[in-house]
Amino acid sequence: MASGQAEHDSSTTQAAAAQAQSRDGAAAPRLPPPESAPGEDDGLGVRFGVAAAVTREVARPFARKSGDPLYRPLKVFTSDPAASRMEAAVAQINVPYEPLAPGPVGSFFKVSSDDPQQNVRYGAADLNDSCVLMAGGYAPSPSEPRFHQQMVYAVCSSVYAVFRGALGRHVAWGFRRADDPARLELRPFAFKGANAWYDKEEGALCFGYDVAPLRSVGKRTLPGGYVFTCLSHDIIAHEVTHALLDGLRAHFSSPTGPDVAAFHEGFADMVAIFQRLSYRELVKTALRKARGRLDQAPLLTDLAHQLGHALELEAALRSALSKEPPDGYDPDAEPHQLGQVLLCAVFEAYLVVFGRKAAPFLRLASNGTGICPPGDLPADLVDLLAHAASALAGHFQSLVIRAIDYCPPVNVTFGEFLRALVTADYDLVPDDPWGYREALIDAFARRDIYPRHVPTLAEDALLWRPPRRAMPPLAGLAAAHLMFDGDVAAGASPAELTRQARALGEFATRSQHLHEFGLVSQGEAAALGGTADLPMVESVRSARRAGPDGQIACDLVAEITQRVTIRPTPGEPGYTLVGGATVILDPKGEIRYLISKSAAGSERLQRRRDFMQSAQGRQFWQVDGAAYAEKTSLYAALHLPAGTPAVMGAAT
Ligand SMILES: [Zn+2]
C-alpha cells in the first residue's frame, strides 16, 4: 500500500539533494560582526553608513568529507497526526546530513526540549543513537516528545535547504539575539495555546499546544486530548518561512502599509503548501483519490487541518483554493485573509500550468478526449501526474523565494511582488515555454492586484527597469574585484563585505544618483516637514542561481535604505518612514535593476497616514506621546495570546 511504501521510500527534495551534495568550504570561525559604522567619509563629508547586518554571521552547512553520508532519513507527518496513514500521512524525508548533538543541535537550528507548561525538560532527541539511526529516526507519535523535536528539526532543515537552493547562497537569520546568532532555536512545547509564532527578539520559533475541545473535532483527534502545533507540517514550514523572510528583508517586519503583514502571511503559506507538494507518495495518493484533479485534492490544498478543527472552524485553517469568483484584493481585510488572496493567486497560476503539463498525459490515457473513463486511473498515469505536480511545485516554490531578491527593501505591495515574480522568472527562464508568467499575471488581475506606475499588464511592462538615467558601472562591485570566502554561496569576509557596502554607499549617495536610489537630501526632508537620517547600506549578497535547463546566473543583490522622521504638527502625530532601493548588478558591475521606493512624495506620506489610521493599521500602530509607534512586533501582533477566542487567521 502507498502508506507502507511511504515509510520505506525516502523522499528527497531537489533542494535537499543540492545542499547535501554541494562542496562547501570548511566552516571557518568568523569574527564577531563590528558595530554599525558611524558613517563613511570619502572627503566629501559623511554621506552614508554601513549597517551591522551587512557583516552578520551566516551559518554554513556542514562541510561533508569523503565517506560522510549524504542524507539523514527522518520520518515526519506530511500533514498532522489526524491524517490517515492510508493517505500517506507519514513520509520519510532525506534531510541533508550534518553531525548533530542531542536536541538535535545542528548548524542552523537548535531544538529545545523544555516544556514550561508542564514544568519539565524532556529527554533530548539523540538522532545519532544507534537504535534510532537503524530505525530511520524516532517513529511518528504524538506522545513521544523526542519525535516532536525530530519533526521540527526535519521540516525546518528541509525548508532551509529550499531557500538556499533557490537563492544560490546561504541565508542569514534576522533575529536580534546576540549569542549563537547562526542558530534559530525551535521550541516545540513553548506555551499553552493552539498557536505558533516567530519570536524575533529571542531568535526562536515558539510552538504551542492545547487541549482539543471536548466534543468530537474530526477523525483521529481525541476530544479533550492534546493538539500540538509542532506536529503540523504546514505550521512548522510557515513559521520557519517567517524567520527566513525576516533574514532576507528586515523591513518587512514593520507593517508600514496594508500589504506588508499580509505578504508575510501569504508568502509563508505559499512556501508551506509547495513544500507539502514535494512529498511524492502524498501527491500520488491525493491524485489517485481525486482522479488526477489537483483542484479536488484537499489533502494537498488545505493548510493545517487538525488545528482548524481544534479551533472549531469545521475546516482546515486555510486553503490555497479560491472560490468562484475569487476574493479580490481588499486593503482593509485582516492580514491572514488578505494574505490568502495572494496565496490563492499564486496557487491558481500553479494549477493553470499544471493543467498544461498534465494535458498530454490525460489525452494519451483517454484516446485523445482528455476525459478518463470512470474507475481508478492507471497507476502509471498517476505516477506521471504526481511527478509533474511535485516538480512544478518545486519550480514555483523556488520562484517565489527567488522573487524576494527582486522586491523593494521596504513597504512591499502585492503588485510589486508580481513584478518581482515576473522579473525573477524572466531572468532565469527568458523563453517561458509553459506560460508561467502569463498565468501569474492573469491570476493577479483576476483578484484586482495591480502594480502602480506601469502602463499595461504586458509582461515587458511589468519587468523591473535599469536606472532611468545612464549610470557608469560600479567598478568596485564587478565580479573581477569580488573576493569570496571559499565559495560564492558562502559570501565574503566581514572586511570584504564592508568594502563592497562602501562602494555601493559612495555611488548611491552622489548627489546626481540620490533620487534614483530612493534617497532624499536633508533639504528635501525639511521640505516634507522632517529630518533625514544617513542612508544605510543594509546588505550586499552574491547569488548564483541555476535554472531548470542548467543555465547559471550570477548577480550581486544589495539594499540601501534611509529613514525620514516627519515631525508632529498640531493635530497630526509625527512618524517615521523608510525609503531606499534594491539594486541588482551583473558581473561587470552594471546595474541591471534598480527597484527604488522614495521616502519623499506627498502621495506616499498621505498613504502612510491613511494606513496608520485604518482598521488594520490600528492593530499595529498607536500614538505614543506626539508620534506614531509600533505597538509590538509584527509577529507578536499577528499572534493572539492564548485564550483569545479562535477566529479564522488567529493562528500562525
Ligand atoms: Zn504567520
Classify residue 118 by its DSSP letter. T
Separation between Cα atoms, residue 578 and residue 599, nearest integer Å:
6
pLDDT, residue 331, reads: 87
Average pLDDT rounded to a whole number, residues 241-262:
92
The residue among 592 and 312 whose pLDDT is bigger is: 592
pLDDT per residue as tens digits for the range 389-404 = 999 999 999 999 999 9
Q: How far is the CA of 272 from the centre of ligand 1 (A)?
A: 11
If pLDDT is split at 50, 70 and 90, which confidence band does 644 have?
very low
Average pLDDT rounded to a whole number, residues 178-207:
90
Q: How far is the CA of 598 from the centre of ligand 1 (A)?
A: 28
pLDDT, residue 442, reads: 93
Considering 566, 583, 602, which residue would you say is the last residue of a domain? 602
In a domain, 513, yes or no: yes
In a domain, 333, yes or no: no
Average pLDDT of every residue of the chain: 83
In a domain, 108, yes or no: yes
In a domain, 531, yes or no: yes
Q: How far is the CA of 196 from the centre of ligand 1 (A)?
A: 8
If pLDDT is split at 50, 70 and 90, which confidence band does 598 have?
confident
pLDDT, residue 219, reads: 54
The residue among 138 and 650 whose pLDDT is bigger is: 138
Average pLDDT rounded to a whole number, residues 629-646:
63
Residue among 100, 88, 96, 107 at smallest CA distance from 14: 96
Q: Which of these ranges, 147-151, 342-346, 509-513, has the smallest mean pLDDT?
A: 509-513
Separation between Cα atoms, residue 421 and residue 437, nearest integer Å:
8
SS3 assignment, position 591 = strand
The residue among 13 and 506 whose pLDDT is bigger is: 506
Q: How many domains does the chain have?
A: 2
pLDDT, residue 545, reads: 74
Tell me how crowded residue 116 is: count the other CB atoms within 10 A of its CB: 12
Q: Which of these ranges, 179-183, 237-241, 352-356, has the smallest mean pLDDT?
A: 179-183
Q: How far is the CA of 242 from the centre of ligand 1 (A)?
A: 7
In a domain, 608, yes or no: no
Whether 6 has a pLDDT exceeding 60, the answer reads: no
If pLDDT is split at 50, 70 and 90, which confidence band does 33 have?
very low
pLDDT, residue 652, reads: 56
Whether 649 has a pLDDT exceeding 50, the answer reads: no
pLDDT per residue as tens digits for the range 549-593 = 666 677 889 999 999 999 998 888 999 999 999 999 988 899 999
Q: How far is the CA of 262 from the centre of ligand 1 (A)?
A: 9
Percentage of the chain surpassing pLDDT 90?
40
Whether 455 has a pLDDT exceeding 80, the answer reads: yes
> Kindly report the CA angle at 277 between 638 and 11, in degrees rounded to 5?
120
pLDDT, residue 582, reads: 96
Considering 580, 602, 624, which residue would you say is the last residue of a domain? 602
Average pLDDT rounded to a whole number, residues 326-350:
91
Whether 157 has a pLDDT exceeding 90, the answer reads: yes
Distances (CA, A) of 175 to 150, 179, 205, 419, 598: 23, 11, 11, 28, 26
Q: How far is the CA of 625 from the centre of ligand 1 (A)?
A: 30
Contacts with 130 (C-beta within 8 Å, 6 or more apart), sequence order = none
Q: How far is the CA of 62 from the centre of ligand 1 (A)?
A: 29
Average pLDDT rounded to a whole number, residues 348-352:
95
Q: How far is the CA of 265 from the centre of ligand 1 (A)?
A: 5
Q: How far is the CA of 347 from the centre of ligand 1 (A)?
A: 18
Average pLDDT rounded to a whole number, residues 488-505:
82
pLDDT per residue as tens digits for the range 59-102 = 677 777 888 888 999 999 987 777 665 566 888 899 999 999 99
Q: Can you list the alpha helix ranges (DSSP code H) found in 493-613?
A: 494-508, 522-527, 602-613
Instruction: Match 531537489 to its residue by C-alpha cell.
Output: 14
In a domain, 462, yes or no: no
Average pLDDT rounded to a whole number, residues 371-394:
90
Q: How far is the CA of 239 from the centre of ligand 1 (A)?
A: 6
Model's pTM, two decimal places?
Answer: 0.88
Residue 555: give the domain boundaries.
475-602
CATH code of residue 218: 3.10.170
Q: How far is the CA of 232 from the centre of ligand 1 (A)?
A: 14
Q: Are strands 46-50 and 71-77 parallel, antiparallel or unpaired?
A: unpaired
Whether 514 has a pLDDT exceeding 80, the answer reads: yes
pLDDT per residue as tens digits for the range 98-148 = 999 999 999 899 999 999 988 999 999 999 988 888 888 998 888 899 999
Q: How far is the CA of 240 from the centre of ligand 1 (A)?
A: 9
If pLDDT is split at 50, 70 and 90, which confidence band does 226 have?
confident
Instruction: Match 551583473 to its residue by C-alpha cell.
Output: 586
Furthest C-alpha separation in the chain: 79
pLDDT, residue 21, reads: 56
If pLDDT is split at 50, 70 and 90, which confidence band does 315 have?
low
Average pLDDT rounded to a whole number, residues 390-419:
95
Separation between Cα atoms, residue 405 and residue 171, nearest integer Å:
12
Considering 216, 248, 280, which residue would you say is the last residue of a domain? 248
Cis? peptide before 104, omega within 30° of 0: yes
In a domain, 42, yes or no: no
If pLDDT is split at 50, 70 and 90, which confidence band does 28 have?
very low
The residue among 17 and 49 whose pLDDT is bigger is: 49
Separation between Cα atoms, residue 7 and residue 91, nearest integer Å:
6
Average pLDDT rounded to a whole number, residues 427-445:
91
In a domain, 626, yes or no: no
Phi and psi for 103 in degrees, rounded to 5? 155, -65
If pLDDT is split at 50, 70 and 90, which confidence band does 51 have?
confident
pLDDT, residue 10, reads: 65
pLDDT, residue 204, reads: 94
Instruction: Match 477523525 to its residue by C-alpha cell.
Output: 219
Q: How far is the CA of 652 from the centre of ligand 1 (A)?
A: 4
Q: How far is the CA of 562 from the centre of ligand 1 (A)?
A: 27
